[in-house]
Amino acid sequence: MAQLLPPARINDDGRSIGVCVWKRRLLRVSRQRTRNSTGRGTTGPRVALIHGARKAEAERRGNNDWKFIVLAFELARSDSPLRVSDIGRKCYNSEIAPGRRIRKRSLAMNAKRLHRRWQDSLEARVDSIRKLLRQRSPLSATEVHDLRVALRRARLLADLGAHALGRTKTKHFRDATRVLLDLLDAVRDCDVALDWLRDAHASAALIKKLQIRRDRFWRATKRRLQLPATKLSIDPKTKGGAKKLDRRLAKLSKATAERCHKTIKLGNEVPTSELHELRRVVRRWRYLRELQLTAHGIRRDPRLRLLIRVQECLGALQNAEVILDQLKTMGRTEELRRLHLGLRANHSHHRRESLHQIKSLPASA
């Protein structure tokens, strides 16, 4: 098999090969498995990288390119995962080109891009709400969840852009969406309990009983679900909308961070009701963070990953509370008692995990 990381060499015109060539070769090494000279399998790409770096260092000492290989050799010996971007950044910033800096990609957007993102997001959420509400067939558990998420995000986006949409229209829209969310609460609680009962391998009779109850709630809710009468449109006379939106986003993010920090100060004595309210605040903070980040930032931002992790822990605790309430309304049987005991243990675990996770929340936005 051909060697994936050959020793460095001088081209025919007397110039050394470029750093980008080595980056491509290192990328190949990180994706493939090589064999050593004896034909036996090696332990992975690090062995091939170290082997090639040693040969290149011996043959190219005194030339700039060998410094790049030495840096790659040092990274290969470390315990951290091998990433070509780290090698290239260290190479350019310290050894090969000390005067050049690799321009880091910004994780957040400027005011104009943020305003376009806000407008596109609001239109997409409103369209999603209308599509789901106009559906004639009963909504599945996934569709009910998607509708609730679209309603929550649309309410937040309308609140952010109240200066461009109009204060009165924004208030009417938020009130209408709040009514829709309240109507869907009972259906969503049944969906959460049904998912848990299926995972817990409950009896078919118990699942059928809860499914009938869910269908009854849905029929009662469907008759009252109506599209928001308020049509949101941006006022063309509004000036400085992008800057106002940016300031409003920063203000709301700061307020949510302070609200979270206030709850964290209570320590382990936080009541469960306060944790449920904190879940809503963290979720709001996550939505705001996602709005201001670029697509690259959404994938890389550590704070967003932390907010998602905390929200999931608090959401699991909330789901446990919902399921307990559903089981209490289904009578008293031996199966329900067994399920109730297991769920109580899960509830205690989720509470401990939630109290542990919220301590990692930052004190500022």
Joined together, the tokens standing for residue 134 give 């106009």
- More confident: 15 or 257: 257
Verdict on whether the full-model pTM lies above 0.75: no
- Give the Cα separation of 78 and 293 in Å (integer): 31
CA atoms within 13 A on the CB side of 24: 5
Closest CA to 308 of 273, 291, 283, 274: 283
Q: Give the architecture (CATH level 2) of 111-358.
A: Alpha solenoid (1.40)
For 12, the 3-state DSSP assignment is coil
Per-domain residue ranges of the chain: 19-95, 111-358
Residue type, position 299, single letter: R
pLDDT digits (tens, 9 = 90+) for 117-173: 999 999 999 999 999 999 888 999 999 999 999 999 999 999 998 888 888 999 999
Q: What angle do CA 185, 187, 189 make, to 5 degrees?
A: 70
Q: Please, what is the average pLDDT of the chain? A: 77
Residue with tokens 């957007």: 109
Confidence of residue 342 (pLDDT cuts 50, 70, 90): confident
Mean pLDDT is lowest, of 22-26, 353-357, 358-362, for 22-26
Beta bridge partner(s), residue 41: 35
Task: Name the region of 104 (left: φ>0; alpha: ψ -120 to 50; beta: rest).
Answer: beta
218 close to 183: Cβ distance less than 8 angstroms: no
- Give the Cα separation of 340 and 349 in Å (integer): 14
Burial class (CB in 10 A: 0-12, 13-18, 19+), 62: exposed
Task: Name the region of 267 (left: φ>0; alpha: ψ -120 to 50; beta: rest).
Answer: left
- pLDDT of res. 83: 47
pLDDT digits (tens, 9 = 90+) for 62-92: 444 545 555 555 555 454 444 444 544 444 4
Q: What angle do CA 49, 52, 55 make, to 5 degrees?
A: 150
What share of the chain has pLDDT > 90, as a percent?
34
